[in-house]
Chain A
Amino acid sequence: MEEKKILEVEGLETSYDMIKALKGVSISAITGKLTCILGPNGAGKSTLLFTLAGILNPDRGKVIFEGEDITNQQTSNLVEKGLALVPENRLIFPHLTVQENLLAGAYARLAKEREIVEQDISEMYARFPVLKERSSQLGGTMSGGEQQMLAVARALMSKPKLLLMDEPSVGLAPLIVGEIFSIIKQLNEEGISIVLVEQNASKALEIGDYFYLLDQGKQIFGGSREAILKENIIKKAYLGESAG
């Protein structure tokens, strides 16, 4: 059985001025699978996703997307190639309406295929009915859960093949967390490859196929769900008490 890798990261190093936040991270994501990245606060998870999305440039290392070296490419190119990030803290456009937030998500396609974009927005409303109700409301006036749905929908508007998600469940009520996770699961079943960064390790363990552990800018574990469940030390050290 041959498994294609949609994403391969080799020896990635990224720093902020003085601080080296990634000190050589090598991970990969298999096409169609859900890859989870776990690790304590400050481990470098968000830095990794920002580097993959072209927001930060690495000092060293390589990022390969669908066999092509995309290291240091502009974010706008990456979005057109099919890579999208749902960032930490959602980063909704607070003074754009829900509808305009979604249009912005499809920015690259807006000039050429406005009508298809309109259709995609209708599909997005069918998938997230709460967004339809609020379509003319300003993004910043919505609740945390609604903003998270909007952030996911906005990223989906670029028709990604690989969706990177940074802690989509953080700060949300348990009921909403469940809803977000079932959306992630469903998107993955529909064929979108996903790299999910999560604090909520027990939830991640329920839906993930592959797992990486990051700590202090280094990757200290990588493997399947079976493998990570066997690693008791890792479980105690990094998954905390919430891991069942």
Chain B
Amino acid sequence: MGIGFIDILQSLIDGILFGSIYALIGLGFTLIFGAMEKLNMAYAASSIGGAYVGLGIATLFSLPLVLIFFIGPIAAGLLSILVYLVSFRLIPASNHLGSLMASIGALFFIDEVIIHETQGSPLTFPELGIFSEAYFMLGDLGFRGDLIFIMIFGLVSMGVIIYLLYYTRLGLATRAVSQQNIAARLCGIPIHATNISTFVLAGILGGFAGCLAAASVGVISPLLTIPITIKGLVAAVIGGLGSIRGAIIAGLLIGGVENFFLLVRGVNERDIYVFLLLFVFLVLRPNGLFGNEISRD
């Protein structure tokens, strides 16, 4: 039983398309890091948490399921504010380790709340309607409609983020705060409000990614948080913490690499190679593909 060239190409395509989710989560990590030089480890947890809230509210009030994709991101944005308050705002700015530990705490707290509320069992998550059924052939290669939707959605959100950062007052404030905190204060820029905006923005992005991830698998489970946290983080690090381009490219790369190894080595070994990739980068290119971009230009 041999693996043909077409199989490999097909697995890379599926992987890269699914990698948009890692790219979105990596982008969220990188945005927050760019603004505060701190990692928010609870980021993927609040993203999945938002998707849960969206699903919960839609089910409770029998709303059209498409609304999950609006309620989820908003809930994730609000959860991000809570995470900001307990893990960043209340801890002295100079205490980087304190914020890191507190945000890891928030990660497990959110996970535990989800496990408690759902008695630990996964819930069915609505798939992406017509997109899930669509399938395009190009020669011998196939393209899943839901994955193409995720990819397009991912690219659009990245465009929106770049627009916000470089062409709006909020973006100017975010970049100013990240480059020269004291000068930003002297310009009258409200530091905390700016940081909260960055968290909300990243949170909304993560909420979308969480909903998309759950929709593409068809179930949502707290078991999603750790792999998404880690792969998003790996994407942010390989891309270069603070680099928007980097997070996007690395997220897609990780998607491709993991799906390739899924094909050739099986599901049990898949993640080993993703982490090997992380070590290769940390040793050979510790600043990632692009270094810190938000506070660079």
Contacts and interface: CB of A to CB of B under 8 A. Distances in A.
Our verdict on whether A and B bind, yes or no, reads yes
Interface of A is mostly: mixed
Nearest to B293: A95
Interface residues of B, number: 19
Interface string A83-122: 0110100011111100010011101101100000000000
B226 to A, nearest CB: 34
A116 B144 CA distance: 52
B183 A92 contact: yes
Contacts of A154: 187
Categorize the interface residue count of chain A. 20 to 34
B175 A93 contact: yes
A138 interface: yes
B297 interface: yes
A110 B182 contact: no
Contacts, number: 72
A175 to B, nearest CB: 26
Q: Which one of B173, B175, B187, B189 has the highest number of Cβ atoms from chain A below 10 Å of its Cβ?
A: B187
A17 to B, nearest CB: 11
A158 B295 contact: no
Contacts of A155: 186
Contact of A55 (B172, B179, B186): B186
A101 B235 CA distance: 31
Interface in B272-297: 295-297
A80 interface: yes
Contacts of B180: 91-94
Contacts of B176: 93, 96, 104, 107
Nearest to B183: A91
A75 interface: yes
A30 B239 CA distance: 54
B183 A93 contact: yes
Interface in B163-195: 169, 172-173, 175-176, 179-180, 182-190
Given A95-B175, A95-B296, A107-B172, A158 B182 contact: no
Nearest to A158: B188
Contacts of B183: 87, 91-93, 104
A152 interface: no
A52 to B, nearest CB: 11
A224 interface: no
Given A93-B176, A96-B176, A104-B176, A87 B169 contact: no
A75 to B, nearest CB: 5
Interface string B198-236: 000000000000000000000000000000000000000
B187 to A, nearest CB: 5
A80 B182 contact: no
A76 B188 contact: yes
Contact of A91 (B172, B173, B186): B186
Nearest to A108: B188
B185 A104 contact: no
Contacts of B185: 54-55, 75-76
Contact of A158 (B169, B179, B187): B187
Given A87-B182, A91-B182, A93-B180, A111 B169 contact: yes
Choose among A85, A87, A92, A104 the residue with the greatest number of B CB atoms under 10 Å from its CB: A104
B190 to A, nearest CB: 5
Contacts of A74: 190
25 contacts: A53-B186, A55-B185, A55-B186, A74-B190, A75-B185, A76-B188, A79-B186, A79-B187, A80-B188, A85-B186, A87-B186, A91-B180, A93-B183, A95-B295, A95-B296, A96-B172, A96-B176, A103-B172, A107-B173, A108-B188, A110-B169, A110-B172, A155-B186, A158-B187, A158-B188
Interface of A: 53-55, 74-76, 79-80, 84-85, 87, 91-96, 100, 103-105, 107-108, 110-111, 138, 154-155, 158
Question: Considering the complex of A and B, which 5 residue pairs feature the smallest CB-CB distances, nearest first?
Answer: A79-B188, A91-B183, A76-B188, A108-B188, A75-B185
Given A76-B188, A107-B189, 5 more contacts: A84-B186, A92-B183, A93-B184, A94-B179, A104-B184
